[in-house]
């Protein structure tokens, strides 16, 4: 027992190694949250644009652009996308955090777009008709009536996407970002202790995911209020 | 009396090659309660849905409030505010409370204050006997209650005309009466109503005009006494023999 505590001390406390982990933890959260926001915004814009393009021939170009985006992004591994962004497009970003946020955000946007679109399509047609019959414009109806219901329908799927995104950010180290994974890995190389940093790393991710799942369940319960009973 | 509010001329609607409305011409006067009857597939729902352009006609014109609704330059949203519609499937907004269902459009579109909208909504809710359900959600109501709320939702926009698309067809039989009572009251207050219905009793008792739609045209038109008492065309006689 004492030997293990001694090892822990050497691995995490000496040279203030734990500070690196805390910084990495912060970066992981920062990248995940910002990328998530970007993803939701891009996803919503694309889903709504495609909804409008469905019955308006003038917007066919928009539809095609959206299709190309989702196909390309979903076809390219996020690690490759990240490296392309870092080494080719945003060469001036030295820390890589901005690049990581943008790359993960754009990646997530493609998946969000498909999710949100399926959510919008699942809302009964009568809802749009009822809103229009009251005199709402198509976008007013979308904002007030369709979109809130769509989001509610797909909330579990969005939760899954958040969790996937959190875990995907563990490749941010490819572009020199010191995220949680890279921090743990640096400690492993510096201290020659593989067991403790990696187990701790796994536990931190696991805990984060469990917390996210719980938060989501609470949110879902609140939104389900209108389902009655 | 002859104060025309909606004037429909040669209304046509094709779905691809399938012609559902083949030239319907009718004037609806202020205060009219017009029931539209006919077999399923005769085009009566399509006709009603064309009146507020939920279904886009492929020919003809609809004059309402001094404008031709089929004209692409007309602001449909503005005209739809004056035409309430009640659907077979209620189509209440399930994510909003009853009160929000009633007030969201008036607040958004008529720019009245929340307080005003809520006062009006509560007053109308009380009149259909649902004052205590303002904070409930649609899924907590019975079918008959939902449809009464749907009628109130349309009324909150203070429309000039109310369109009903088979308002009682999705209801359990014991709930039909409560919805018809609300419609009856509305008619007695002088609201102009166009009602697509299978409720022949209601058509006979409440309406002042009945349209019999058959194969995309108005095959016969008249007062309820004429239509139900002395039907002239054979198709109407057959139809009535089946439904009465």
**pLDDT bucket at A229, cuts 50 / 70 / 90:** very low
Please compute the mean of the pLDDT values over residues A141-169 and round it to a whole number. 93
DSSP, residue by residue, A85-135: IIIII-TT-SS-HHHHHHHHHHHHHHHHHHHHHHHHHHS-HHHHHHHHHTT
pLDDT of A36: 96
> Is the CB of B104 less than 8 angstroms away from the CB of A144?
yes
Of B172, B166, B152, the closest CA to residue B203 belongs to B166
| A169, A209 contact by CB (below 8 A) | no
Grade residue A228 by pLDDT with cuts at 50, 70 and 90.
low
Per-residue model confidence as pLDDT tens digits over B110-147: 889 999 999 999 999 999 999 999 999 999 999 999 99
- With an 8 Å Cβ cutoff, are A148 and B95 in contact? yes
Mean pLDDT of A209-215: 94
Put residue B216 in one of left, alpha, beta given phi > 0 → left and psi -120 to 50 → alpha.
left
Return the number of other C-beta atoms located less than 10 Å from residue B168's C-beta: 24
Asked if the model's pLDDT at residue B2 lies above 80, the reply is: no
Using a CB-CB cut-off of 8 Å, the residues of chain A touching B78 are 135
Residue B242 has pLDDT above 70, yes or no: yes
Least confident of A53-67, A128-142, B4-18, B72-86: A53-67
Nearest Cα of chain A lies from the Cα of B136 at a distance, in angstroms, of: 8
How would you classify the pairing of strands B161-165 and B83-86? parallel
Structure confidence by residue, pLDDT tens digits, B216-232:
999 999 999 999 999 99
- Does residue A192 come out as left (phi exceeding 0), alpha (psi in the -120 to 50 range) or beta? left
What is the average pLDDT score of chain B?
Answer: 94
Spatial separation of the C-alpha atoms in residues B175 and B24, rounded to whole Å: 33
Residue A94's pLDDT band (boundaries 50, 70, 90)?
Answer: confident
CB B37 within 8 Å of CB B206? no
Q: List, in sequence order, the alpha helices (H) in A123-194.
A: 125-133, 138-141, 147-168, 180-191
Residue B114 · residue A203 · CB < 8 Å: no
Instruction: Please tell me the distance from the alpha carbon of residue B5 to that of residue B149, in angstroms, as a whole number.
Output: 26
pTM above 0.80, yes or no: yes
- pLDDT tens by residue, A5-42: 888 888 888 888 889 999 999 999 999 999 999 999 99
User: What band does A226 get if pLDDT is binned at 50, 70 and 90?
Assistant: low
Of A122, A134, A228, which to mutate for an interface test with B (greatest number of B Cβ within 10 Å)?
A134
């Amino acid at each position: 027992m004492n030997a293990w505590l001694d090892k822990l001390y050497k691995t995490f406390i000496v040279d203030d190694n734990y500070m690196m982990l805390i910084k990495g933890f912060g970066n992981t959260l920062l990248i995940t949250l910002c990328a998530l926001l970007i993803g939701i915004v891009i996803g919503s814009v694309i889903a709504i644009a495609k909804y409008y393009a469905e019955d308006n021939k003038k917007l066919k170009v928009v539809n095609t652009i959206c299709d190309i985006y989702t196909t390309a992004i979903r076809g390219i591994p996020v690690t490759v996308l990240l490296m392309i962004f870092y080494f080719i497009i945003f060469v001036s970003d030295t820390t890589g955090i901005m690049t990581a946020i943008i790359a993960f955000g754009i990646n997530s946007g493609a998946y969000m777009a498909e999710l949100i679109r399926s959510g919008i399509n699942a809302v009964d047609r009568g809802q749009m008709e009822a809103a229009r019959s009251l005199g709402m414009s198509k976008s007013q109806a979308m904002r007030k009536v369709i979109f809130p219901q769509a989001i509610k329908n797909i909330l579990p799927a969005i939760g899954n996407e958040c969790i996937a995104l959190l875990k995907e950010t563990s490749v941010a180290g490819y572009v020199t970002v010191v995220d949680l994974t890279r921090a743990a890995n640096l400690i492993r190389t510096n201290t020659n202790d593989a067991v403790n940093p990696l187990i701790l790393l796994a536990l931190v991710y696991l805990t984060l995911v469990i917390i996210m799942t719980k938060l989501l369940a609470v949110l879902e319960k609140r939104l389900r209020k209108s389902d009655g009973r | 009396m002859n104060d025309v509010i909606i004037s429909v001329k040669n209304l046509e609607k094709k779905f691809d090659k399938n012609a559902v409305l083949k030239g319907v011409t009718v004037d609806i006067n202020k205060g009219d309660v017009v029931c539209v009857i006919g077999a399923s597939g005769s085009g009566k729902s399509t006709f009603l849905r064309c009146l507020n352009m939920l279904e886009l006609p492929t020919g003809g014109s609809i004059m309402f409030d001094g404008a031709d609704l089929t004209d692409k330059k007309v602001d449909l949203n503005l005209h739809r505010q004056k035409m309430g519609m009640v659907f077979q499937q209620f189509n209440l907004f399930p994510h909003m409370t009853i009160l929000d269902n009633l007030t969201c459009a008036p607040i958004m579109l008529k720019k009245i204050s929340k307080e005003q909208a809520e006062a009006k909504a509560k007053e109308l809710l009380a009149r259909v006997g649902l004052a205590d359900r303002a904070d409930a959600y649609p899924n907590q109501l019975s079918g008959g209650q939902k449809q009464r709320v749907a009628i109130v939702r349309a009324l909150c926009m203070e429309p000039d005309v109310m369109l009903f698309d088979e308002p009682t067809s999705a209801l359990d039989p014991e709930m039909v009466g409560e919805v018809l009572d609300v419609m009856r009251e509305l008619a007695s207050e002088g609201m102009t109503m166009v009602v697509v219905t299978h409720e022949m009793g209601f058509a006979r008792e409440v309406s002042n005009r009945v349209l019999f739609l058959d194969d995309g045209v108005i095959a016969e038109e008249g007062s309820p006494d004429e239509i139900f008492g002395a039907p002239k065309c054979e198709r109407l006689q057959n139809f009535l023999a089946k439904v009465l």
